[in-house]
Amino acid sequence: MRILIAIVCVCFAASSWAAAKPNVLFIAIDDLNDWVGCLKGHSQVRTPVIDGLAKRGVLFANAHCQAPICNPSRVSLLTGVRPSTSGVYDLDQPHHLSPLLKKAVTLPAQFKANGYHVLGRGKIYHGRYDYPEDWHDFKRTGDARNKQFRVKPVSSVPRIGVRDFGPIDLEEEQFGDLMNARWAAAQLKQDFGKPFFLAVGVRLPHVPLYAPKRFFARHPETKVRLPAVRADDLKDLPPAALAITRYMYDTPLNHKSVIESGNWKNAVAAYLACTEFVDHCVGVMLKALDESAHAKNTIIVLWSDHGWHLGEKEHWAKRSLWEESTRVPLILAGPGIVQGTSPRAVGLIDLYPTLAELCSLPKPPQKLEGHSLMPLLKNPNAKWPHAALTTYHRNDHTLRTERWRYIRYANGDEELYDHAKDSNEWDNLAKDKKFADVLKRFRGQLPKVNAPDSPTR
């Protein structure tokens, strides 16, 4: 009888623990900048699902990636370690080859090690390494849309290749993002007998910028509004600023080619259409969650790995230290999280310590360099003394606060922008002596460690 009572007590304790632990729906979007309705990045975009999610929890309206390129951004988020500490600065540096990260426990692995059922689909890590030991169930799915640019590009930009854009004749069900969203919706109907960490990587609006035709219907070329630009915007940039953005100059997707081929509005329309298709895919998942038994006990995290330029500063894609590359959507909603918008400058690196605190996970072996967002999840306007740091290449950094963006390159070149007056970052104030104290303060906040490049695969 005593043995039976003991077994019942153990089972009851286990089920109570599982019930108390919140689930996590972790939605990772590729290359999505602030062109979502709730961030007001573009006046013509419609993202009702993401906007609705923002109203359910905390929208971080001043959130920034730690690197303006896929791999180092994701490595930083998933390990909680800065690029300048790990040496992971570029695409071909998997985190397991970094001397500092060899013993690091990634965020999914930490959930798995602490009683969660961990599963995912799509792009979470970057590159060919999926780290199956971090998951109970993970699969990187293919995407039929990638066949189009190999057969016949849609746009008329010369030699456009993989960076093509436009509507394509492909059934929506064959788009990998919708396939993964529906897979996630099916998982949300299940009872795993323990809390779950469900990660879904949404590939769009990563190039090629293809979406189903119906999402282009709202954006005819003649009605598309271009992003705000200034003709002389590059005149006050230092040499390092111009050099760091020239990655795209030698690719087909460069400002001159887009303009001369008459495709600027078409490219903007494609980005808007792809973003609205992403919103549709997110809606498939959230609808399933809201109709499930997990609705009241699931934390929703939605984020993008970095932003995207569409002609601002005559730049395209990412790989810069300006607002268009670093600012990203970041929303957390669910149990224990209030509703509101936070203006505080935060980073994706803050997600690891935040989720660890929300889900009562122990500290991993590596030192987490982000800061838990819990104070802001309780009060979006709470005091927050931290600047958001973004790094692109060794010793090239930008710091973002509520008012300022400061950029310092490895050669000492600097930029300074006052977002209280210049949200487009058109006027570089770094050489104005009136701001000497501001520059001095930011210089003191730059990383003291700038690790050499981590090994490549």
The active-site residue, picked from 38, 65, 70, 281, is: 70
User: If DSSP states are collapsed to H, E and C, what string results for 241-304?
Assistant: HHHHCCCHHHCCCCHHHHHHCCCHHHHHHHHHHHHHHHHHHHHHHHHHHHCCCCHHHEEEEEEE
The verdict on residue 232 lying in a domain is: yes
- What is the residue range of 341's domain? 22-443
Work out the pLDDT band at 128, boundaries 50, 70, 90: confident
Known catalytic membership, residue 70: yes
> What pLDDT is attached to residue 137?
97
- Residue-wise pLDDT for 243-298, tens only, equals 887 878 889 999 999 999 999 999 999 999 999 999 999 999 999 999 999 999 99
The verdict on residue 426 lying in a domain is: yes
Q: pTM of this prediction?
A: 0.95
User: What is the average pLDDT value for the chain, to the nearest integer?
Assistant: 94
Q: How many CA atoms lie within 13 A of 265 on its CB side?
A: 9
> What pLDDT is attached to residue 248?
82
Number of domains the chain contains? 1
The verdict on residue 68 lying in a domain is: yes
**pLDDT score of 19 more than 70:** no
The CATH number covering residue 61 comes to 3.40.720.10
The active-site residue, picked from 126, 306, 309, 315, is: 126
Here the tokens at position 123 are 């792009």
> What pLDDT is attached to residue 278?
98
- Residue-wise pLDDT for 326-367, tens only, equals 999 999 999 999 999 999 999 999 999 999 999 999 999 999
> What pLDDT is attached to residue 16?
45
When computed from its CA atoms, the radius of gyration of the chain, rounded to whole angstroms, is 22
Work out the pLDDT band at 14, boundaries 50, 70, 90: very low
Provide the percentage of residues in the chain whose pLDDT is more than 70. Answer: 96
The verdict on residue 435 lying in a domain is: yes
The verdict on residue 83 lying in a domain is: yes
Work out the average pLDDT over 383-405.
98
The verdict on residue 454 lying in a domain is: no
The verdict on residue 12 lying in a domain is: no
Instruction: Between 10 and 91, name the one with better pLDDT.
Output: 91
- Residue-wise pLDDT for 407-416, tens only, equals 999 999 999 9
Least confident residue range of 60-69, 135-144, 409-418, 430-439: 135-144
The verdict on residue 296 lying in a domain is: yes
Q: Are 300 and 332 in contact (CB under 8 A)?
A: yes
> What pLDDT is attached to residue 7?
44
